[in-house]
Amino acid sequence: MSRWEIINASYYFSLLVTMFLTSIAGAQLTRLNVGYSAIGADRLPAWVAKDSGIFTKNGLDVQLIFFTGGTTAILALVSGEVPVTQVSGPGLVNSAMSGSDAVFRAAGITSLNYVLTGKPGVKTSEQLKEGTLKISRFGSAADSIARFALRKIGMTHCKDVIPMQVGSGPERLH
């Protein structure tokens, strides 16, 4: 992720959290649950703000809650478990198309930072046929990007390659 994207993501995340600030009276902190759905540099702004004390200085007691995949994070948002969550677009779009009132406020990453990889010995895309492809959850960014990548190499999701829901990035590498 470029320096500009990190700065941009930090700015937009700060803006998002600021929307939930109420008047700060005395030393009492306002508790705010904030979800995130991936482990990576694009989720760094929330951790930097928490670890450096920015949230506390602004009257917030922020609890960062990890959700396995954007689909799960959106479910937590729609249910009210978290009022703010960091997710990529596909889960939110799928939720809105299903009737939720979730709103996309800002984007810190504007490019796909995914790579299609295979087991040792896989040299061509044709060797992926009739195999499995690990994703976090159906409807997630990983699922949408997998569908896109498969189309690019002339294959069909669920026909030529079977998706397997396994969780976040680290779980998909095993």
Q: 98-141, pLDDT tens digit by residue?
A: 898 888 777 666 677 777 777 888 888 888 888 888 888 888 88
- What's the CA gap between 135 and 132, in Å, rounded? 10
Q: Is residue 113 part of a domain?
A: no
10 and 92: one domain? Answer: yes
* pTM of the predicted protein model: 0.64
154 and 71: one domain? Answer: no
Could you list the residue range(s) of the whole structural domain that residue 142 is in?
125-172
Count: domains in the chain: 2
H or E stretch covering 134 = strand 131-135
Query: Which region among 103-112, 141-150, 155-164 has the lowest average model confidence (pLDDT)?
Result: 103-112
| Most confident range, picked from 27-31, 51-55, 164-168 | 51-55
58 and 130: one domain? Answer: no
Task: DSSP for 58-109, please give it.
Answer: TTEEEEEEE-SSHHHHHHHHHHTS-SEEE--HHHHHHHHHTT--------S-
Q: What's the mean pLDDT in 63-82? A: 90
92 and 10: one domain? Answer: yes
Q: What mean pLDDT value characterizes the chain? A: 82
93 and 129: one domain? Answer: no
Whether the Cβ atoms of residue 108 and residue 42 lie closer than 8 Å to each other: yes
Q: Is residue 17 part of a domain?
A: yes
